Amino acid sequence: MSQFDSTKRSLEDVLKDVSIGKIQLPDFQRGWVWDDSHVRSLLVSIARSFPVGAVMLLETGGETRFQIRPVEGVKLPTPAPAAELLILDGQQRLTTLTQVLSIDGPVATRNEKGRAIERYYYWDIKRALDGVESLEDAVVAVEADKCLRENFGRDIKLDLTTPEKEYQQLYFPCRQTLNSDAWEEGLQEACPEQFGLYMKFRKQVLQAFRSYQLPVIQLHRSTSKEAVCLVFEKVNTGGVPLNVFELVTATYAADGYNLRDDWFGSAARKVESRQKRLAKEPVLTALESTDFLQAIAMLHTLKRRKSDLADGKTGKQVTPVSAKRATILDMPLAAYQEWADAAEEGFKCAAKFLKRECVRDGRDLPYRTQLAPLAAVLALLEERWKEPRIYDKLARWYWCGVLGELYGGAVETRIANDAEDLLAWIDSDAAAEPRTIHDAAFRPDRLDRMTSRLSAAYKGLNVLLLRGKAADFFWKGTITELDAEDVAMDIHHIFPQDWCEKQGIGRKLYNTVVNKTPLSYKANRMIGGVAPSAYLAKLQKHEQVKMDNAAMDGILQTHVIEPGLLRVDDFHGFYAARKKALLVLIGHAMGKAVQQQAEVGSSAAVAANDEDEEQDDAQRA
């Protein structure tokens, strides 16, 4: 059965309904101001009877309820009339046409530099009658005082401050387009000799507006919230992308709850921002509102599933654990209010867990998408997550997700499965391992392709080194301690790039994560572009360092670097040994042995791999 009707309505009727509040905007539609050039172009298109695209409207009165507001510039009486239709697509066009043609006031627009301005729009009647090619120049915008200035605003070029001046100069106000009776009477009295010319203009230009038929697609009131969201995203290609938070905000607002205030806060209404409270944890600065809603959806559906099973329900009668958009959109306000505080605590516990794992801030976070299931699980575990047996299971799941690179792209299903699986596995060793642990695998040749620091596994491997107390070559302290003291840190080459290129070692080999490690800016400056044997000697002799070989070897080993191979500048031996050591580190974190390859670290193995790292990361994103 069709969910929509397609028809045509006169522009005049549509704008009338907008002006009296029969057609309004759902609250998730953000405010939009077209610039002056777009306004002019739209007026000319209609004057020439060109198509300007269909508008899409949603019938009100169904189960899908949204907070609503009038189109910008429309003043409605109090109490406001109930809307019959909501604008899903065509907001910019209808807002512009309403302000220009139906409202007695200046139009809020922007100039070519994006600065907010107010303008009244007029037709230069004489120029408009020069032919259709002159219509663009016939649209004249004057300032809010109805004057047009030149010479940097010093001189008035056009004065339309009174109706008499409009009549005398034959400038027709666009706000009179759909009903010009009063203006015509004034023209007939003040300048009767101009009336004939005006009538030609009315016939050639104004009549196009009065007879214009606007294509309208009207969605039935039975359309679901998820369908509304999908439709809006498909048609809203030019505006700000709509996310599920905006739709839920509009839905809850219909029940008198301001979700935007709860998340972003409001100084005017003295509401503290939940998002700002969470962002006090550096690793949660990247947290999005959708992540928070996903965690609540999982908590809500976990409770419902448990209740359904307790009631003896089976099969499709049992609520599935879900973090999908449809689940979030169907989630009642009561569910949000029940779980919001618990979810917030869950995310705070997730930050503590990640800090223990040496994920220090948002830059180190491999996957933001893993936060929601982790927070949902920790919200239910409360303080139990710190117990050694439970903690080890959480850590294994986390690293399988990161190093298996399983949390990129569309992960709604995995998120929900992991939340349910993790809780069952934590409660009973007899339960199956979470699917992420089962699915996770790390190919040894992945290290030969890992060059982008934006990839999750690259970030994860760096964190594993920090977790292993990697120490700085110059400052001697651990990288984690130095970073906390605001010492400049980054990831740098172990065998310098310049040295590698002079030795004929290809970029595909020397630029992988195997030849990189976290170091201070100071250490990297001293490394320069010389051989490792040279920079190690230089570092060890520095008056602020003064280390013997044994002490420096100990620091190198914290980076899983074989000191002997570095001291004799054996790149290929170093590469093979470190790759093997990194694979052991990865296997330990995942709780799985990583199969070693016979040709570990060989140049041929790397050169044979044609897959570009950036493409590889894009597929995982």
- Is the residue at 253 inside a domain? no
Q: Tell me: do 484 and 587 sit in the same domain.
A: yes
Q: What is the pLDDT of residue 84?
A: 94
Does residue 427 sit within a domain?
yes
Lowest mean pLDDT among 41-50, 76-85, 397-406, 527-536: 76-85
Same structural domain for residues 376 and 267? Answer: yes
> Both 430 and 461 in a single domain?
no
Look at residue 236 and tell me whether its pLDDT is greater than 80: no
- pLDDT interval class at 67 (50, 70, 90): confident
Least confident range of 242-251, 292-301, 463-472: 242-251
- Are 479 and 558 members of one domain? yes
478 by DSSP, 3-state: which?
Answer: strand
Query: Are 617 and 459 within 8 A, CB to CB?
Result: no
Report the percent of the chain where pLDDT is more than 90.
Answer: 67
Which tens digit of pLDDT belongs to each residue from 412-450? 999 999 999 999 999 999 999 999 999 999 999 999 999
- The boundaries of the domain holding residue 148 are 107-208
Can you give the pTM of this predicted structure? 0.72
Do 69 and 116 share a domain, yes or no?
Answer: no
Question: According to the model, what pLDDT value does residue 148 have?
Answer: 94
- The Cα–Cα gap between 149 and 143 comes to 8
pLDDT of residue 31: 66
What does the pLDDT read at residue 603?
A: 41
pLDDT at residue number 1: 54
Q: Residue 378: name the closest of 284, 260, 272 by CA.
A: 284
Whether residue 325 lies inside any domain: the answer is yes
The predicted pLDDT at position 604 comes to 38
pLDDT of residue 237: 54
Degrees to nearest 5, angle at CA 393 with 392 and 396: 85
pLDDT per position as a tens digit, 113-135: 888 899 999 999 999 999 888 99
What value does the mean pLDDT take over residues 258-265?
A: 93
The stretch 125-147 carries a mean pLDDT of 93
Q: What is the pLDDT of residue 241?
A: 56
Q: Which two tokens stand for residue 170?
A: 């034959």
Q: Are residues 11 and 129 in the same domain?
A: no
Q: Are residues 195 and 220 in the same domain?
A: no
CB contact at 8 A, 376 and 498: no
Same domain, 115 and 195: yes
Strands 85-89, 23-26: pairing kind: parallel
Residue at a domain's end among 410, 439, 468: 439
Q: Which residues are CB-neighbours of 121 under 8 A, at least 6 positions away?
A: 39, 40, 43, 100, 107, 139, 140, 141, 173, 174, 175
Co-location of 160 and 91 in the same domain: no
Euclidean distance between CA atoms 180 and 48, whole angstroms = 19
Report the pLDDT value the prediction gives residue 59, as an integer from 0 to 100: 92
Alpha helix segments (H runs only) across 357-467: 371-381, 388-403, 412-427, 435-439, 456-467
Residue 281 covered by a domain: yes
pLDDT at 437: 96
Evaluate if residue 478 carries a pLDDT over 90.
no
Last residue of a domain, one of 388, 420, 439: 439
* Domain closes at, from 409, 439, 469: 439
pLDDT score, position 112? 81
Residue-by-residue DSSP string for 6-31:
EEEEEHHHHHHHHHHTSEEEETTSPP
Q: Residue 386 domain-assigned?
A: yes
Dist CA 350 CA 292 (whole Å): 12
* pLDDT at residue 382, as a whole number: 95
Quick one: pLDDT band at residue 196, thresholds 50, 70, 90?
very high
Count of domains forming the chain = 4
| Domain identity same for 324 and 454 | no
Long-range contacts (CB closer than 8 Å, 24 or more residues apart) made by 553-558:
555/471, 555/472, 555/473, 555/476, 558/465, 558/468, 558/469, 558/470, 558/471, 558/478
Instruction: Compute the average pLDDT of residues 354-365.
Output: 91
Helix (H, G, I), strand (E, B) or coil at 518: strand
Torsions phi, psi for 35 (to 5 deg): -80, 170
- The per-residue pLDDT of the chain, averaged, comes to 89
Condensed to tens digits (0 to 9), the pLDDT of residues 171-184 reads 999 999 999 999 99
The predicted structure's pLDDT at residue 454? 87
Q: Is residue 563 part of a domain?
A: yes
Note whether residue 216 is domain-resident: yes
- Are 468 and 606 found together in one domain? yes
Residue 229 sits in the same domain as residue 271: no
Average pLDDT over residues 37-57: 93
